[in-house]
């Protein structure tokens, strides 16, 4: 489940610097179940905030190598440095958000066709991710699709 959270944050990092409304669909292979979520993501100068509104309220805040999860049962804090894969993916999130192509190129092979970008994982990333597709319309992100090696899939669609 923690890897799902990391991938959600990776996808959300592709959104613009302002708050964006999104719809997320996850397929969880282990449960053979689809899950639908909706919310907003906001990029601050030093943090990323994801506010899920459906199916239940939850707020994820990434700041200074820590992920705070607030839901109906309270707060949970995860030190991403204690989990190398989580730390690794936040580096990718920042690279995507900052459009740091040099850093992205160290994690993915990129192929661009029309309005779609295919990111083929390499190195450590390839041990977890199968492939990532990003779709744009007029240079704005429209959707993101991630296939994970464990059979899970995540699709994000920008609603704005």
pLDDT tens digits along 66-92: 888 899 999 999 887 776 555 555 565
86: domain CATH number?
2.50.20.10
**Euclidean distance between CA atoms 104 and 87, whole angstroms:** 15
In the chain, the number of structural domains is: 1
Q: Please tell me the predicted confidence (pLDDT) of residue 2.
A: 47
**Euclidean distance between CA atoms 48 and 46, whole angstroms:** 7
**Euclidean distance between CA atoms 55 and 28, whole angstroms:** 16
- Segment 18-29 shows an average pLDDT of 88
Q: Please tell me the predicted confidence (pLDDT) of residue 95.
A: 62
Under the banding of pLDDT at 50, 70 and 90, the label for residue 13 is very low
pLDDT tens digits along 128-156: 889 988 887 776 678 888 888 889 898 88
**Euclidean distance between CA atoms 23 and 7, whole angstroms:** 15
The whole-model pTM stands at 0.74
DSSP bridge pairs for 129: 148
Q: Please tell me the predicted confidence (pLDDT) of residue 86.
A: 54
| Greatest Cα pair distance in the chain | 45
pLDDT tens digits along 41-65: 887 777 878 899 999 999 988 888 8
Q: Please tell me the predicted confidence (pLDDT) of residue 71.
A: 92
C-beta separation of 56 from 37 below 8 A = no
C-beta separation of 5 from 35 below 8 A = no
When the pLDDT of each residue in the chain is averaged and rounded to a whole number, the result is 79
**Euclidean distance between CA atoms 94 and 48, whole angstroms:** 10
- Segment 93-102 shows an average pLDDT of 66
Q: Which helix (H) or strand (E) holds 137?
A: strand 129-137
The helix/strand/coil state of 139 is: coil
Domain limits at 136? 2-158
């Amino acid at each position: 489940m923690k890897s799902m959270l990391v991938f959600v944050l990776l996808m959300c990092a592709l959104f613009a610097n302002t708050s964006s409304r999104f719809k997320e669909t996850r397929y969880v292979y282990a449960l053979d179940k689809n899950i639908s979520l909706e919310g907003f993501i906001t990029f601050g100068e030093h943090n990323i905030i994801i506010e899920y509104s459906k199916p239940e309220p939850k707020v994820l805040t990434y700041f200074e190598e820590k992920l705070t999860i607030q839901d109906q049962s309270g707060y949970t804090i995860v030190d991403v440095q204690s989990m190398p894969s989580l730390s690794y993916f936040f580096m990718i999130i920042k690279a995507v958000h900052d459009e740091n192509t040099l850093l992205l190129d160290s994690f993915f092979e990129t192929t661009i066709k029309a309005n779609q970008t295919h990111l083929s994982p390499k190195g450590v990333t390839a041990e977890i991710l199968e492939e990532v597709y990003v779709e744009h319309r007029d240079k704005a992100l429209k959707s993101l699709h991630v296939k994970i090696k464990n059979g899970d899939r995540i699709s994000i669609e920008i609603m704005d």
